[in-house]
Amino acid sequence: MFDLLLWPFIACVVLTGIHAYLGMHVIKRGVIFVDLALAQTAALGTLAGFAFGITMHSGASYLISLGFALAGALFFAWARPLEKIVPQEAVIGITYVFAAAAAVLILSKAPSEAEHIKDMLVGNILFVKPEEVLKTAVLYSAIGAFHFIFRKKFWLVTDDCDEACREKINIPFWDFLFYASFGAVVTSSVGIAGVLLVFSYLIIPAICSTMLAKSLKNRLLISWGLGIACSLGGMALSVYKDLPTGASIVAVFGIMFALFLAGKSIMMGRRTAE
Amino acid sequence: MKKLFMLSLALSLPFAVFAGQINIVASSTDIADIMKAVAGDKANVECLMKGTQDPHSVEPRPSMVVKVRNADIMAVVGMDLDMWANSVIEASRNSKVSKGGAGYLDMSEGIDKLDVPEGKIDARLGDVHIYGNPHYQLDPKNGIIMADEALKKLVEFDPADEKYFRANHDAFVKKLGDGIGRWNKMMEPLKGKKLAASHSCLLYFFNAFGIKQAGYIESKPGIPPSPSEVIALEKKIKDDGVKAVLVDQFFDMSEPEKISADTGAKTVVISTCVDGLKGTEDYIKLFDYDVKTVLDAVK
C-alpha cells in the first residue's frame, strides 16, 4: 500500500515546493483564479492542436499548449496597466470562461467522443509516473531558480507598481515573465494532479501562512510544512476511508483552512477585547 | 521500492495459493457478473465500478489498485471505454494482468464491433475510439461471446477445473439463450420501427432487436446538442411517428423531457449495465428489465 503512494507523495512534495511560493505572488497580486485561467488556456491549445491533427501527449502538442499559455500571459501583462478601470480579476475570469467555451466548441466539431478528450487533459495524482515526477521536478527547479535570482524585481512588480516605475523597471516585461513562468508551471501540474489539487497547493498553504508569519521566508517555510502535512493527511484519509486521493487531499486542505480562520478570528477577538 | 513490491508480492502469494481461489477483477458490472457465472465458487470476483457510475468517468481510489495488484485475472471492457482501468493496472505494477500478460482479458476481442471508423483512420482521431462503439454489452448475444472469452481464460489459468467451468458456462449460455429467445419474441412488434436515443451507448440494444435508430439527442456524448440538431430530431420524431426516446441511466433528463413535451414521444430510462437501475441485478435481469420497460412505454 505504501509503495503505491510513494510517487504520488513525492509528486505532492514537488507541487508544494513551487506552488506555495507562487501562491504568495498570486495572493499579493489579487489574481486568485489565474491558475484556472492559464490552465484552461493551455488546454484550449492542446484541443486546437488536436483539431488540426496533432496527436495529444506529443512534443508538438505540449508546445502548442505552452504557446497558448504564453499568449494568455501576454494578455494579462498587457491588460495590467488598465487595472484601475478593468480589474485583473475580471480579465482572468473572462479569459477562463472564454477558453472553456471555446474548448466546448472545438470538441463539438471533433470527430470522436468528447468525454475522453476532456479526461485526457487532466491528470490523477494516484497514477503519476516516476519519470513524469522527475521531469516536472527539473522544470520547477529551473523556474524556481529563475524566480530566486530575480526575486527582487518580481516582488517589486508584484508589490508596488509605483515604486517599480520609479526604479525604471519595465513592468509589462516582468509581468509577462511572471505569468509565463507561472503558466509553464500550471500547465504541467494540472497534467499530473488535476485542477482542484493545483488550486489548493497554490492558494491554501500561502494564505494560511500569512495568518501566522510576516516575513517572506517564514511564510514560505510554514507553507511548505502545511502543504506536506495536508498531502500526508489527505493520503491517509484516502487510504483508510478508500476515497479518491486528489479530492481527499483537497478536503484536508479545506478543513485546515477553516481551522486556521477560526483560530485567527478567536485570537483577533481576544486582542480587541483587551 | 522494488524490495517493498517484492515483499508485498511474497506476502500476498501464499493467500492466493492456500485459498485455492482465483482472484478475478472486472472493470464493469456486466463482466463481473459473467465472470462469476462461469467461475462459480472457484473464484473471488471483484468489480472496480458500480453500475451507477458512468464508465467513461470513474474516479479511481487506492483500493482499486490494491485489488488489481492481487489479481490473477483482470477483465476489461476494452475498446478504450475504460481507459482508467489501464491506469489502475499500470499503477498496480502487476505485470501478470497488464496488457499482453497472461492474466489480461480484453472482453471485446471476439465481439462483432459496430461503428468502427472505415478506411484510413484520420490522424485527427488521435487514439480516441478508433475501435468503434464500445458499449457492446447491450446486445445479449454478445453476452455469449463474453462468456466464451471468460471460459477460455479460466481454463487457460486453471486447466484442472475445465469441466466445472464448462458446465457453468453452458448453464449460463443456456439461460441467456432462453432469454434471447424470450426477448426477441417480446420485442417482435418493435422490429423495423424507429426509436430515438440519448446517445450512441444504446446502439447495440437497437441493433440486437432490429429497432431502427431515429437519431441521438447528443451526437457527441458529453456535448449538448445545438438548437438545429434538436429541431431536426424533433421533426424526425414527429414525421416518422417515433413513439419513444430511450435514455440511459446517466443522462440528464431535462433535454429528453423537453423533446417529449414537444413531440409526444415518451421518454424511457433503461439501464446500460448490470446494477445500473433497481431490478437489473444480473446480466439476464438487465434485459428482462430493459425489454419490459421499453415495451410498457410504447404499448
What's the pLDDT tens digit per position in A67-90? 999 999 999 999 998 988 999 999
pLDDT score, position B19: 52
Percent of chain B past pLDDT 90, that is, above it, reads 72
pLDDT above 80 (res B117): no
d(CA A215, CA A207): 13
Contacts A108 to B, Cβ<8 Å = 220, 223, 226
Residue of A nearest to B70 (CA): A1
Is some CB atom of chain B closer than 8 A to the CB atom of A115? Answer: yes
Instruction: State the pLDDT confidence band at B123, using cuts at 50, 70 and 90.
Output: very low
CB count in 10 Å sphere of residue B14: 9
Task: State the pLDDT confidence band at B60, using cuts at 50, 70 and 90.
Answer: confident
- Give me the mean pLDDT over the B147-157 stretch: 96
Q: What is the least distance, in Å, from the CA of B80 to any CA of chain A?
A: 9
- Give the neighbor-by-neighbor strand order of the sheet with B212-216: B212-216, B194-197, B244-248, B266-270
Q: Give the per-residue pLDDT at A167.
A: 85
Does the pLDDT value for residue B163 go beyond 50?
A: yes
* Angle between the N-to-C axes of helices A34-51 and A195-212, in degrees from 0 to 180, rounded to the nearest 10: 160
Backbone angles phi, psi at B52, to 5 degrees: -90, 5
Q: pLDDT (tens digit, 0 to 9) for every residue of chain A, 274 residues total?
A: 677 889 999 999 999 999 999 999 999 999 999 999 999 999 899 888 887 877 777 888 889 999 999 999 999 999 998 988 999 999 999 999 999 999 888 888 766 555 566 666 677 898 888 999 999 999 999 999 999 999 999 999 998 778 888 888 889 999 999 999 999 999 889 888 988 899 999 999 999 999 999 999 999 999 999 999 999 999 999 999 999 999 999 999 999 999 999 999 999 888 877 6
Q: What is the dihedral of CA A34, A36, A38, A39, to 10 degrees?
A: 150
Q: Could you say which residues from 128 to 157 on chain B have a Cβ atom under 8 Å away from some Cβ of chain A?
A: 128-129
Residue A274 in contact with partner chain B when CB distance is under 8 A = no
Q: Which of B60, B126, B127 sits opposite A126 (nearest CB)?
A: B60
Cell output for A253: 486542505
Alpha helices in A128-170 (DSSP H): 130-149, 151-159, 161-166
CB B241 within 8 A of CB A133: no
User: B128, A117: Cβ pair inside 8 Å?
Assistant: yes
Cβ count near A23 (within 10 Å): 28
Whether the CB of A2 is below 8 Å from some CB of chain B: the reply is yes
Task: Say what the pLDDT of residue A109 is.
Answer: 76
Round the average pLDDT of chain A to a whole number and report it: 90
pLDDT level of residue B127 (50, 70, 90 thresholds): very low
B183: cell is 426477448
Residue B128 near residue A117 (C-beta atoms within 8 A): yes
Long-range contacts, B66-70 (Cβ 8 Å, 24+) = B66/A1, B66/A4, B66/B92, B67/B25, B68/B25, B68/B92, B68/B94, B68/B97, B69/A4, B69/B8, B69/B12, B69/B93, B69/B94, B70/B12, B70/B15, B70/B16, B70/B23, B70/B94
Please determine whether the domains at B19-181 and B189-298 fall in the same fold group of CATH. Answer: yes
Close Cβ partners of B270 (under 8 Å, ≥ 6 residues apart): B202, B205, B246, B247, B248, B249, B277, B289, B290, B293, B294
Q: Where are the domains of chain B?
A: 19-181, 189-298
The residues facing B104 across adjacent strands are B74
Residue B7 scores a pLDDT above 60: no
CB contact under 8 A, B61 and A245: yes
Q: What are the φ/ψ torsions at residue B60 (nearest 5 degrees)?
A: -70, 145
Q: Using CB atoms, pick whichever of B1, B65, B221 lies closest to residue A114.
A: B221
pLDDT higher than threshold 90 for residue B277? yes
Q: Give the DSSP letter of residue B113.
A: -
Tell whether B230 lies on the interface with A, counting CB pairs under 8 A. no
User: What is the percentage of chain A residues whose pLDDT exceeds 90?
Assistant: 66
Mean pLDDT of B78-94: 89
User: Whose CA is closest to A249, among A262, A258, A239?
Assistant: A239
Q: Which residue, B192, B195, B194, B190, is CA-closest to B256?
A: B195
The topology under which CATH files domain B189-298 is Rossmann fold (3.40.50)
Which residue is it, cell 517599480?
A: A164
Please state, rounded to an integer, the average pLDDT across all residues of chain B: 89
Please tell me the CATH code under which domain B19-181 is placed.
3.40.50.1980
CA-nearest residue to A124 within chain B is: B60
* pTM of structure: 0.84
pLDDT band at B5 (very low <50, low <70, confident <90, very high): low
Q: What is the ipTM of this complex?
A: 0.77
Torsion of CA B51, B57, B59, B63, to 10 degrees: 50
Quick one: DSSP state of residue A243? -
* pLDDT for A85: 93
